[in-house]
Structure 1
Amino acid sequence: MKLQDSVIAITGGGQGLGRAMAEYLAARGARLALIDLVPEKLEAAAEACKAAGGDARAYTCNVAREADVEATFASIIEDFGQLNGVINNAGILRDGLMIKARDGEISKRMTLAEWQAVIDVNMTGVFLCGREAATKMIENGDKGVIINISSISRAGNMGQSNYSAAKAGVAALVPVWAKELSRYGIRAMGIAPGFIETEMTASMKPEALEKMSAGIPLKRMGKPEEIASAAAFIIENDYMSGRMIEVDGALRL
């Protein structure tokens, strides 16, 4: 599928990795439907995409709410007339040990609210947006691709019971959807980033960043555009489906 004039929806598209992917695809002629919760950041991202050379529109939406997702994708079809792909990127963190104890005394446990918030956005949101995107593609006769952004944490990362479980679930959906949707000309792929330079990591202490980078075989963190280029490669290669691509500097071998 050619990127030129393709309509790609990106959740979490107002900032961070989502915005980086949007600008990268816009520079290659794609038309972007940016989905996020913060209107101001969405509008700024849309303008940046237009400046990069592509068309873009902003959609304020909570991906964990079914009604929001249904209304948003209906609007995307109304505005663009087609849908060729969705990148399920929106996610949140609520990190913490499942149980923290000392000398047999429990000092803290991961709360149900901390668990549920991450599952709602990071996994249920992916299901809702993937389902709605596929629905609109089938109804509209559009062939396309669903890309789920997982993480190397899907293999299990200390202090991330909620996040690891959600990202493992997101990865598991990739082969399922690839098998179910291929008959409609819809592919499904996943990307599992390692440690990437984003606003979130930029706020970390320098010594923590140095320690983190030292543990990566390539001795550096990834750049957002390196994830974006992986997404572009997937979109343009019509024979890729049902697989995960790890972009992690050989961190998880």
Structure 2
Amino acid sequence: MKLSSSTIVITGASQGIGKGMALHLAGLGAQLALIDLNAERLEEVALACKEAGSPKALALACNVADEAAVISTFAQIAEQFERIDGLINNAGITRDGMMLKVKDGAIEKRMSLEQWQQVIDVNLTGVFLCGREAASIMALQQNDDAAIINLASISRAGNVGQSNYAAAKAGVEALTVTWAKELARYKIRAMAIAPGFVETEMTQSMKPETLDLIRMAVPLGRMGQPEHIAHTAQFILENNYLSGRTIEVDAGLRI
């Protein structure tokens, strides 16, 4: 895929990894449809993308877990850009907690259904909804190559305190393989990126001692940057023989 003047949709684009990918692809001349719930911050990112070199950057406030909102948003994208060359499913949340805690022979605390459902709704159902709508547009346009990139995580293998997040990210990886098989006939590729710990607003809110422990666990001794994920997304978009696989960007960390 030639990124210059291509149209790329990015969810969760108002901050962190999503923002980093948007600015990176803008610098390569891509047109961008940016999706997030935070409309104000999203407008700021869209403006920054235009300043970075994007011919067109559109900010669209949308809850990716809301089917009607997603359908409407992708209809707007199709109207504004006429085509979609790539979708990066990046939107995600965490609601961490142990499945249960026992103290003095009694159940002290359990992960609530709300904690579980919120993460599944955004991190898994949101990926499905956006992937379905993007693929529906991609499949009907004349193209030699289109791609969907899903953000998984090294937590997909299982991580303490993340029953909801780990399950969602494992599901994201399974969706990626399934879509690669189903959508190849329409010249649509599907890939996943599984980041390790990346320095974003979310991770920077952690306690300093927790961040120090994380850095010590990473073989390279440092956390990743949004740019590392952005470069990986560029590699996937430009290499039209990549499909059905997950690229781990974690500096060798295993959790």
Q: TM-score, normalised by structure 1?
A: 0.98
| Structure 2: runs of 5+ lacking an equivalent | none
Which contiguous aligned blocks of 4+ residues in structure 1 show a shift greater than 2 angstroms?
139-143
Q: List aligned pairs for 1:29-108, cutoff 5 A.
A: 29-54=29-54, 55-108=56-109
Residue 16 in structure 1 maps to residue 22 in structure 2: no
Identify which range, 238-247 or 202-211, moves more after superposition: 202-211
2:33 partner letter: A
Indicate whether 1:159 and 2:139 are aligned.
Answer: no
Mapped to 2, the partners of 1:127 and 1:196 lie a distance apart of 24
Give the match for residue 139 of structure 2.
Answer: 138
Partner amino acid for 2:15? Q
Partner secondary structure for residue 32 of structure 2: strand
- Same amino acid, percent of matched pairs: 63
CA deviations on 1:17-68 (whole Å, 9 max, x unpaired) are 1011000000011111000001101100101101110121011111001111
Amino acid at match of 2:74: F
**Alpha-carbon offset, residue 223 of structure 1:** 0.6
Question: What is the CA distance between 1:83 and its match in structure 2?
Answer: 0.4
Question: Which string of whole-angstrom CA distances, capped at 9 and with x for unpartnered residues, describes residues 103-123 of structure 1?
Answer: 321111111111000000000
Letter matched to residue 177 of structure 2: P
Alignment of 1:106-185 (within 5 A): 106-142=107-143, 143-185=145-187
2:240 paired with 1:238:
yes
Structure 1: give runs of 5+ residues left out of the alignment.
none
Q: Offset at 1:140? A: 2.6
Shift of residue 201 of structure 1? Answer: 1.3
Out of 225, 246, 249, the residue aligned to residue 247 of structure 1 is 249
RMSD of the TM alignment (CA)? 1.0
- How much does 1:3 deviate? 0.7
- Match of 1:246, SS state, is strand
Q: CA deviation at 1:200?
A: 1.1
Residue aligning to 2:199: 197
CA distance in 2, matches of 1:42, 1:141: 30
Displacement of 1:252 in angstroms is 2.3
**1:237 Cα offset (Å):** 0.2
